[in-house]
């Protein structure tokens, strides 16, 4: 279904524009050149932010834009293509935010006739957006104050039970800086990271409900199906563990490798605790089923049911690896029922579980050191391993109550306010709380965290999968790399960041790499879908262009080498309880190698030559700031 002017298939060819301040809705066509150069999804988010959102904009002000973008693969038969991106300037980090989300919402958007939605302004009253087969309207929302599950159910009754809903909860309304956007109701697929839900709340937009009956037209359906059949067996085989036990399948292996963060990143061993919260334990105890994102052939989504008289029933989407790490090992909580409850509360409030768990672990350590008291917590003693602490703190953050007001700003802001050495155990990069993989186990993670364009992120490079043993011959990595070595990691991380930017823009689930889906297969599928034959090198160049464009935006916001750094605890503490040694990352050496390979200056700024090579000259508004100085672009 192509209603725009573009000749490429796979695209709807148009985006929907919403100005909430004026209550205005209109459509714009997508330029074919933009589709070729920036693909879709994450690439479109970066392009729009660079063109339309100045660096000096208040992230929670009406001038910031909230961008939902699918890509050419969404809505097609390509396996595991049920994804989309949500982007903005982040209220948590003050730089570019992009949040990848699975589920069915992105496919439904494409079927309704749009590749994306760009939202600006701020409504005078709470509203939600209803889109149905190319028609769109803003409706008054009586759902303000409802949690995300309740609001989703109510909006489905008002619109269409077959619709797909993206919705914020009370945390987004109250501008918790790491608020997320819930998709697909109780199956709970989240656009979670960097505070996209807070931006949605600042605009007084409660939800976007979408219903579409169209089909996404592809250029060569037979060729595409043939290629999918060739790839399917490898995908299913490579993702067998994910199908069986979900992403939690790796909890115990991560603990064994020293990759699982424990007690706010202080410890290196937690063997019995890891077993109690593992995917296998979940499957044996509280699992009732699994669910699939659109076009998925893996089914890593967990459906759980808990009956516990301590806090009532839990039913719906269960915790994944990151949530089990953040709400579990990071806080020393090995009570799976309690973690499932805390996870459900995060879904209902609409909060990123990684940032929430990180904030709670930070608070427990601060309480232990006397920096937070019972007066701050409403009489609650914050203790490691205590399920009561976990659940009450989730509630306090989601409601911005008591110490939750402080923690809802994120650990960087909380540490700045508390002071007294708390910065040393605030675990973030560029303001984004660290995900649940430890760079002391895999050297490339250190570099990936430091240089990720949205702050600490293991998925922007996903490079540690090569150090764990995955071969990606298309990139020149036919075998496992030594996880403790720093040599060659700059080039590897850069190459993987380019590839992952491509996955996020097409879009496709990154777990496909476990099924031998690499640049060659992606370029083949792109040709079958769009009708434009491109080489894997051309697609990887688009990924490089997208990553560099994001960096250019962040340079305007003041990012340079000084921001490409890691928490002190990761750089200085080997964790004495490890039964085998783990290496501290030599970040300075790896950064210099990385910048050289990228074609950036020693300060981490894309050079004029690199900008021209990638055709990004038009996005450079202040050459002096971009090419010569790490200072923010105040001209914006």
What CATH number has the domain bearing residue 289? 1.10.569.10
Residue identified by tokens 């923690």 is 407
Please check whether residues 406 and 460 belong to one and the same domain: no
Tell me, what DSSP letter sits at residue 161? T
Please check whether residues 270 and 170 belong to one and the same domain: no
- The mean-pLDDT minimum among 118-132, 557-571, 610-624 falls in 610-624
Please check whether residues 256 and 343 belong to one and the same domain: yes
Paired sense of beta strands 14-19 and 24-29, if any: antiparallel
pLDDT, tens digit (0-9, with 9 covering 90-100), for 257-282: 999 999 999 999 999 999 999 999 99
Last residue of a domain, one of 211, 235, 265: 211
Select from 352, 368, 453 the least CA-distant residue to 411.
352
Q: Which residues lie across from 209 on neighbouring strands?
A: 130, 165
Residue identified by tokens 């080039």 is 491
What CATH number is attached to the domain comprising 601? 1.10.599.10
In a domain, 506, yes or no: yes
Q: Which residues lie across from 312 on neighbouring strands?
A: 308
pLDDT(618) > 60? yes
Please check whether residues 569 and 515 belong to one and the same domain: yes
pLDDT, tens digit (0-9, with 9 covering 90-100), for 133-153: 999 999 999 999 999 999 999
Residue 136 to residues 23, 126, 128, 141, 546, Cα–Cα distance (Å): 12, 17, 11, 15, 30
pLDDT(636) > 60? no
pLDDT(635) > 80? no
Please check whether residues 175 and 277 belong to one and the same domain: no
Tell me, what DSSP letter sits at residue 113? T
pTM for this one? 0.96
Please check whether residues 150 and 290 belong to one and the same domain: no
What is the band of 576 on the pLDDT scale with cuts at 50, 70, 90? confident
Q: Mean per-residue pLDDT for 66-75?
A: 98
Compute the chain's Rg from CA coordinates: 23
Provide the pLDDT for residue 577.
Answer: 78
Tally of domains in the chain: 3
CB 239 within 8 A of CB 515: yes
Provide the pLDDT for residue 179.
Answer: 98
Please check whether residues 416 and 323 belong to one and the same domain: yes
Q: Mean per-residue pLDDT for 503-512?
A: 98
Q: Which residues lie across from 69 on neighbouring strands?
A: 85, 116
In a domain, 271, yes or no: yes
In a domain, 226, yes or no: no
Please check whether residues 55 and 196 belong to one and the same domain: yes
Paired sense of beta strands 127-132 and 205-211, if any: parallel
* 304, HSE (Cβ side, Cα atoms, 13 Å): 30
Residue identified by tokens 């148009």 is 14
What is the band of 81 on the pLDDT scale with cuts at 50, 70, 90? very high
Last residue of a domain, one of 409, 433, 457: 433
In a domain, 112, yes or no: yes
Provide the pLDDT for residue 575.
Answer: 86
pLDDT(531) > 60? yes
In a domain, 221, yes or no: no
Please check whether residues 453 and 420 belong to one and the same domain: no
Select from 144, 134, 122, 117 the least CA-distant residue to 2.
134
* 506, HSE (Cβ side, Cα atoms, 13 Å): 32
Instruction: Kindly tell me the burial class for residue 617, based on how many C-beta atoms sit within 10 Å of its own C-beta (0-12, 13-18, 19 or more).
Output: exposed
Please check whether residues 565 and 485 belong to one and the same domain: yes
Tell me, what DSSP letter sits at residue 570? H
Q: What is the mean pLDDT of the chain?
A: 95
Residue 301: which residues within 8 A CB-CB, separation 6 or more?
187, 189, 246, 290, 291, 292, 293, 317
Residue 21: which residues within 8 A CB-CB, separation 6 or more?
62, 120, 121, 122, 123
Q: Which residues lie across from 179 on neighbouring strands?
A: 351
In a domain, 236, yes or no: no
In a domain, 4, yes or no: no
Q: Mean per-residue pLDDT for 84-101?
A: 98
In a domain, 173, yes or no: yes
CB 178 within 8 A of CB 356: yes
Domain that holds residue 84: 14-211
Last residue of a domain, one of 414, 433, 452: 433
Residue identified by tokens 């089923």 is 289
End-to-end CA gap in the chain: 38
């Amino acid at each position: 279904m192509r209603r725009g002017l573009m000749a490429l298939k796979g695209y709807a060819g148009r985006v929907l524009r919403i100005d909430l301040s004026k209550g205005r809705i209109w459509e714009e066509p997508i330029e074919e050149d933009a589709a070729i150069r920036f693909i879709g999804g994450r690439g479109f988010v970066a392009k729009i932010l660079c063109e339309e959102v100045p660096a000096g904009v208040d992230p929670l002000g009406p001038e910031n834009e909230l961008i939902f973008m699918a890509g050419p693969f969404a809505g097609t038969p390509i396996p595991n293509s049920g994804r989309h991106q949500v982007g903005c300037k982040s209220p948590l980090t003050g730089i570019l935010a992009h949040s990848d989300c699975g589920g069915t919402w992105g496919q439904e958007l494409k079927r309704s006739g749009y590749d994306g939605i760009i939202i600006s302004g701020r409504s005078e009253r709470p509203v939600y957006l209803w889109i149905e087969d190319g028609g769109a309207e803003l409706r008054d929302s009586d759902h303000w104050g409802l949690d995300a599950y309740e609001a989703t159910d109510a909006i489905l009754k008002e619109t269409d039970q077959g619709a797909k809903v993206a919705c914020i909860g009370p945390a987004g309304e109250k501008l918790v800086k790491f608020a997320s956007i819930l998709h697909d109701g109780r199956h709970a697929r989240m656009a979670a990271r960097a505070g996209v839900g807070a931006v949605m709340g600042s605009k007084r937009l409660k939800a976007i409900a979408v219903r579409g009956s169209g089909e996404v037209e592809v250029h060569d359906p037979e060729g595409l199906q043939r290629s999918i059949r060739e790839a399917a067996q490898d995908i299913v085989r490579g993702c067998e563990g994910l199908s069986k036990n979900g992403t939690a399948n790796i909890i115990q292996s991560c603990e064994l490798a020293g990759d699982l963060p424990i007690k706010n990143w202080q410890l290196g061993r937690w063997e019995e605790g890891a077993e109690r919260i593992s995917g296998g334990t979940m499957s044996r105890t509280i699992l009732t089923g699994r669910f699939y994102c659109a076009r998925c052939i893996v089914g890593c989504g967990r459906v759980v049911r808990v009956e516990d008289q301590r806090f009532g029933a839990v039913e719906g989407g269960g915790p994944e690896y990151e949530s089990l790490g953040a709400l579990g090992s990071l806080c020393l909580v090995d009570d799976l029922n309690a973690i499932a409850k805390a996870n459900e509360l995060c879904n209902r409030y609409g909060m990123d579980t990684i940032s929430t768990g990180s904030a709670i672990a930070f608070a427990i350590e601060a309480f232990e050191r006397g920096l937070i008291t019972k007066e701050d917590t409403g009489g609650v003693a914050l203790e490691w391993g205590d399920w009561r602490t976990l659940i009450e703190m989730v509630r306090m953050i989601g409601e911005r109550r008591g110490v939750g007001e402080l923690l809802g700003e994120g650990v960087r802001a909380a540490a700045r306010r508390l002071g007294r050495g708390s910065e040393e155990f605030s675990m973030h990069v560029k303001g984004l709380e660290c995900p649940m993989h430890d760079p002391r186990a895999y050297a490339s993670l250190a570099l990936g965290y430091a240089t990720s364009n949205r702050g600490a992120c293991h998925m922007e490079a996903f490079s540690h999968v090569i150090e764990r043993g995955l071969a990606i011959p298309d990139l020149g990595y036919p075998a496992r790399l030594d996880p403790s070595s720093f040599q060659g990691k700059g080039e590897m991380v850069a190459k993987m960041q380019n590839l992952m930017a491509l996955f996020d823009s097409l879009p496709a689930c990154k777990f496909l790499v476990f099924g031998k889906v690499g640049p060659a297969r992606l370029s083949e599928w792109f040709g079958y879908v769009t009708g434009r034959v491109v080489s894997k090198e051309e697609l990887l160049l688009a990924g490089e262009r997208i990553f560099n464009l994001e960096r250019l935006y962040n340079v305007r916001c003041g990012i340079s080498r000084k921001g490409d750094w890691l928490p002190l605890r990761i750089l200085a503490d080997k964790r004495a309880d490890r039964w085998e040694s783990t290496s501290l990352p030599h970040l300075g050496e790896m950064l210099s190698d990385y910048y050289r390979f990228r074609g950036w200056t020693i300060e981490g700024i894309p050079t004029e030559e690199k900008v021209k090579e990638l055709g990004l000259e038009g996005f450079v508004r202040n050459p002096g700031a971009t090419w010569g100085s790490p200072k923010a672009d105040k001209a914006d």
